């Protein structure tokens, strides 16, 4: 009897598999991806068409249907480092944030969050330029506080998942001082992936913040440094964003202007996805012109999760 039941179970499994295999796939659907294309000088490349783009899902090429300017409608969260390590860069951080909101306000919602100590919302999402500038004026370093960059990105990403805004973007300005985040890199990277946000991080390099000599916080666990570096390496690249190291905080304002130009110059690429029960693991974009770098962030349909 036991052998009979086992045989029946195997037949049921095989039959079920055959049934699934025999089901026709659904009709093709249109998918969209926001794409930045930069030349060797880091400037946006204009006037590209469908023949210039190559979209692949799990390394399988897809048909590009339409290419158009991406326009506005983004939900941007600015993260500002207000830890002790950012003291000398504070005025430049404010100038950089002002340059960004001046270039991106209007039909883009922008929020401002600080992460010297526990992450704190200074300005909820708004299109009001005056309110944003007032909030930037309240960005002050907190003596004796470490940075909590990973916690800030993790919490912001969780908020994006809950509210599901269109075209989410996370832009962080971080010192190279101590990070005491409770979340590790893997948890934070998973949160970013679930949110569908692109992540841009500007790291302000200051040799005076050498971790080994940052005595105010005692001995730093090497693992904390590893977790932070892992986030910086993988978070932007895996989300279609970018990580830039600035050797002088005075370069931040120009870097923010360049980011505004990049976002303003993005393309909305529409392509065809064959009907399938299982979504792809990876979506990649490239351009078939030399000396150009393309990065993309797939857009989610309503209620979609990775």
What average pLDDT does this structure show over 101-112?
97
In whole angstroms, what is the distance from residue 216 CA to residue 74 CA? Answer: 39
Q: Which CATH class is domain 75-263?
A: alpha beta
Is pLDDT above 60 for 269?
Answer: yes
- Stated as kind and residue range, the H or E segment containing 163 is helix 149-163
- What CATH number was assigned to the domain covering residues 26-70+265-298? 2.60.40
Pairwise CA distance, residues 185 & 192, whole Å? 10
At 122-145, the pLDDT tens digits run 999 999 999 999 999 999 999 999
d(CA 172, CA 111): 12
Six-digit token string for 266 = 């993005």
pLDDT of residue 28: 84
The answer for residues whose C-beta is within 8 angstroms of residue 223's C-beta and 6 or more apart is none
Q: Is the pLDDT of residue 35 over 80?
A: yes
Q: Which two tokens stand for residue 218?
A: 């005692």
Provide the pLDDT for residue 21. 40
Residue-range domain boundaries for the chain: 26-70+265-298, 75-263
CA distances from 109 to 43, 77, 128, 259 (A): 24, 8, 9, 16
Question: In this structure, are residues 61 and 55 in contact, taking their beta carbons and an 8 Å threshold?
Answer: yes
């Amino acid at each position: 009897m036991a052998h009979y039941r086992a045989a029946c179970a195997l037949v049921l499994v095989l039959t079920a598999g055959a049934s699934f295999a025999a089901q026709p796939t659904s009709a093709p659907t249109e998918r969209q991806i926001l794409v930045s294309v930069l030349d060797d000088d880091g400037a946006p490349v204009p006037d590209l068409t469908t023949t210039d783009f190559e979209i692949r899902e799990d390394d399988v090429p897809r048909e590009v249907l339409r290419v158009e300017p991406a326009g506005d409608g983004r939900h941007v969260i600015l993260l500002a480092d207000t830890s002790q390590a950012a003291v000398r860069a504070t005025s430049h951080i404010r100038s950089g944030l002002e340059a960004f909101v001046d270039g991106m306000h209007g039909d883009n919602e922008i929020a401002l969050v600080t992460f010297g100590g526990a992450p704190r919302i200074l300005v909820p999402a708004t299109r009001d330029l005056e309110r944003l500038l007032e909030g930037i004026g309240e960005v002050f370093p907190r003596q004796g506080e470490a940075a909590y960059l990973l916690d800030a990105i993790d919490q912001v990403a969780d908020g994006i998942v809950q509210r599901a805004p269109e075209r989410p973007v996370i832009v962080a300005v971080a010192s190279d001082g101590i990070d005491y985040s409770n979340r590790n890199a893997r948890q934070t990277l998973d949160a970013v992936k679930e949110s569908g946000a692109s992540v841009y991080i500007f790291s302000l390099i200051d040799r005076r913040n050498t971790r080994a000599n940052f005595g105010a916080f005692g001995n730093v666990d090497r693992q904390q440094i590893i977790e932070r570096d892992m986030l910086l390496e993988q978070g932007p690249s895996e989300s279609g964003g970018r990580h830039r190291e600035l050797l002088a905080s005075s370069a931040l304002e120009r870097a923010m202007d360049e980011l505004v130009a990049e976002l303003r110059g993005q393309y909305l690429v529409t392509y065809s996805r064959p009907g399938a029960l299982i979504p792809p693991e990876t979506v990649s974009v490239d351009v078939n012109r030399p000396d150009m770098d393309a990065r993309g962030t797939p857009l989610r349909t309503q209620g979609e999760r990775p």
